[in-house]
Structure 1
Amino acid sequence: MIRYPLLLLAIAVLLGGCTTLRETEPGQTARHQLLLSTAADEASQRISPNLPAGTSVFVNTDHFGSSDDYQSSYAIGAIRAAILKQGYNLAASADEADTIAEVSSGALSIDRRERLLGVPSASVPIPLAGPFKTPEISFWKSKERTGVAKFRLTFYDAETGALQDASDPVYGFSHFDRSSILFFGSTDSNLMPPEVEERRESNAGTQD
């Protein structure tokens, strides 16, 4: 006589025969990093201070976040690049600058939303063996990832501390959306230009 735990285990094994291994170096996936960096790029492109051409600017990042983490260090680099592109000079220290640009981050993170039409995965208790997680069965599934960046910049005179320019916060967004119906899926993303995405897929196809 077949008992229920053994029957459930057999069904779970048959349904869950396919396993995907997630391996990343470092801990964050490349997609995670691209969502953050793309949002930071878009926000930085909206930086447009009203200062005399050629002004020497020192970027003060004391209130931005730790420069040791990937998100903050890339975003700070993008902000500095945007200031250079506007025709200003970067000073190595506040003593050498005409203007101090104090930057802060209001957001630099990822929102996630998932929707499912089907049977979600569930934990099934199996006596003497512990819980077993059944595979998900989806007829339609949507995964949405949105990167959000919000920066504020305030420009003041390096000698007097007088305000020179302060604009509204700048925002940037990125997205990676994946939806599937049964075995057919589609992806919408702004993480890479089309030509770069094609090169990435071509390179992936040559890997073992």
Structure 2
Amino acid sequence: MASYLFSEPGVQLHFGLNTNALLNAIKRADAIVLHAAIYSNFADNAVGQLLLQRLQNASLKQLTLIKLEPTRPWQDEFATILRPEMPLQDIEQLYDISRHWCAELKTQFPEAVNLMSTQALPLQPILLIGDKLFIGHYAHSNCTSAQGLWLEFDILGLGIAPNTLIDWFDTGVPSEQNSAVAIALGRYVEECRRAVGDLWYQSLIELDKGFNR
């Protein structure tokens, strides 16, 4: 049985995260933005190993990691969405593993790695890999997001110029778009930008740090 529901030029819909497609995209990307809450799985899997390898040989020019520091009103509920079968205490350990992995990459490659924290409620895992965009879905379910439906977009196959999504992440999504495709994909880039750039979110993080001193 095929690993995808359908495949059209520039768009695939997968049953579960297609790790092979993700790895192939990582091999070719010059810049990557990950907005996926926690990265504990990457600490010891093929994705994390490939990211490390590409940073070591300097073929990956920029890696932005957006890690979640959840805020209290929805922290426990979101934890059960991330890992439905796991006790809350164990999920906190996954956050620690994720923080350590992110911090290690930032320490080893300070110029190439942008490490950002957010307390914004995540709406979906977003993996912006060069000219590829992988979008998952969070749900109240006994299965994790990695086991759910995933959209894979190839912007070149959709007629969008190379590096457009990365440029939008760096400089902003144009407010006026003539293409329905560009508008739809731009929403995901805006989600990433809002997580790292909204001063309101950043002030929440600083406020939370103050409460915990």
Given the two structures, how large is their TM-score scaled by the length of structure 2? 0.21
Higher relative contact order structure (alpha carbons within 8 Å, sequence separation ≥ 6): 2
Higher strand share: 1
Higher helix share: 2
